[in-house]
């Protein structure tokens, strides 16, 4: 999906059709994105400059051939309104809400135009089925989201403590990228000493020995805009299942 490189465009006023409908194919005269919301999400809607995390499938409406998909990959994240994606994505996804699913039909002028790209012939209209998993807005303070799974016992871990922690790291779609349990070796670090990503620190503080948590860490408290290729993509939100083994 990193090859989607056309400039962003302004978002027109679009009206979603019925849930089971297929977006009409744009004509040469109508170079705007058509879309159908197959599932409405909840919460705030996407706006320009938001960082959004999605999964998707792209195909050619003329043949049905799938040319790209996030299946078996980490979710794809990008800044809306940037040149990270084709213009049709910037136009067609604005207004979606988390949990929503949308099918968009992108005319050639908002895709790759007269260029051919791998399995995409020149002058192709493209269709995408997109599911929105997360919105990160610059005007909302980033913080780790903590779900307590088991309470543990004893004193609570605090800044300056050295802790042993087992973890399993995943992306928002559940795809695993690392686990200390597979090595049977918990990670040891000092809380608050910047030895781990900021969101990991936030997630462990307050845990007690034997306690378990699920911690969702926004990209700005993880590996940032750049990620850590090839394992962690750009703007990646990370999910960790944690167990505090010992406070030393």
Strand positions, DSSP E, 27-175 = 34-39, 42-45, 51-59, 66-69, 76-79, 97-98, 101-106, 126-136, 145-150, 162-170
Instruction: Give the SS3 label for residue 9.
Output: coil
Spot the catalytic one: 67, 161, 177, 205.
177
Q: In this predicted structure, what is the pLDDT of residue 17? A: 33
Spot the catalytic one: 135, 197, 232, 247.
197
Burial class, 86, CB count within 10 angstroms (exposed 0-12 / middle 13-18 / buried 19+): buried
Mind listing the pLDDT tens digit for each residue in 10-66? 223 233 333 334 565 655 555 789 999 999 999 999 999 999 999 999 999 999 999
Q: In this predicted structure, what is the pLDDT of residue 154? A: 94
User: Fold match between 34-136 and 145-247?
Assistant: yes
Q: In this predicted structure, what is the pLDDT of residue 138? A: 87
Mean pLDDT of 186-206: 96
Known catalytic residue at 197: yes
Q: In this predicted structure, what is the pLDDT of residue 31? A: 75
Residue 230, preceding peptide bond in cis (omega within 30° of 0): yes
Known catalytic residue at 120: no
Known catalytic residue at 235: no
Residue ranges covered by each domain of the chain: 34-136, 145-247
Mean pLDDT of the chain: 89
Spot the catalytic one: 67, 178, 187, 205.
178
- Among 46, 66, 45, smallest CA distance to 57 is for 66
Annotate 120-145 with DSSP letters as a single string: B-TT--EEEEEEEEEEE-TTS----E
Higher pLDDT, 27 or 183: 183
Quote the percentage of the chain above a pLDDT of 70.
88
Whether domain 145-247 has CATH 3.10.50.40: the reply is yes
Mind listing the pLDDT tens digit for each residue in 80-97? 999 999 999 999 999 999
Higher pLDDT, 162 or 139: 162
Spot the catalytic one: 112, 167, 171, 189.
167
Q: Residues 146, 239: contact at Cβ < 8 Å?
A: no
Spot the catalytic one: 84, 112, 240, 247.
240
Spot the catalytic one: 128, 171, 219, 223.
223
Known catalytic residue at 223: yes
Distance CA 210, CA 177 (A): 23
Longest dimension (CA), the chain: 69
State the fold for domain 34-136.
Chitinase A; domain 3 (3.10.50)
172 pLDDT tier (thresholds 50, 70, 90): very high
Distance CA 193, CA 200 (A): 12
Mind listing the pLDDT tens digit for each residue in 216-231? 999 999 999 999 999 9
Q: Which of 8-17, 22-31, 118-127, 169-178 has the lowest mean pLDDT?
A: 8-17
Q: Residues 87, 22: contact at Cβ < 8 Å?
A: no
Mean pLDDT of 93-102: 96
Q: In this predicted structure, what is the pLDDT of residue 93? A: 95
């Amino acid at each position: 999906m990193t090859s989607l490189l056309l400039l962003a465009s302004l978002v027109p006023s679009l009206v979603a059709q019925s849930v089971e409908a297929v977006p009409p194919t744009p004509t040469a005269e109508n170079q705007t994105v058509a879309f159908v919301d197959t599932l409405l999400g909840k919460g705030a809607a996407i706006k320009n400059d938001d960082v959004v995390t999605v999964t998707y499938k792209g195909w050619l409406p003329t043949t049905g051939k799938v040319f790209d998909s996030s299946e078996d990959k980490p979710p794809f994240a990008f800044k809306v309104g940037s040149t990270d994606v084709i213009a049709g994505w910037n136009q067609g996804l604005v207004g979606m809400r988390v949990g929503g699913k949308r099918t968009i039909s992108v005319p050639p002028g908002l895709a790759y135009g007269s260029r051919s790209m791998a399995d995409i012939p020149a002058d192709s209209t493209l269709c995408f089925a997109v599911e929105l998993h997360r919105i990160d807005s610059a005007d909302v303070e980033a913080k780790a989201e903590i779900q307590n799974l088991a309470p543990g016992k004893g004193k609570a871990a605090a800044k300056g403590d050295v802790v042993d922690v087992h973890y399993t790291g995943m992306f928002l779609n559940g795809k695993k990228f690392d686990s200390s349990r597979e090595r049977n070796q918990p990670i040891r670090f000092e809380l608050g000493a910047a030895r781990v990503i900021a969101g990991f620190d936030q997630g462990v503080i307050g845990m007690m020995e034997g306690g378990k948590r699920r911690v969702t860490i926004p990209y700005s408290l993880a590996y940032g805009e750049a990620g850590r290729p090839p394992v962690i993509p750009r703007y990646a939100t990370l999910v960790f299942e944690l167990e505090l083994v010992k406070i030393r």
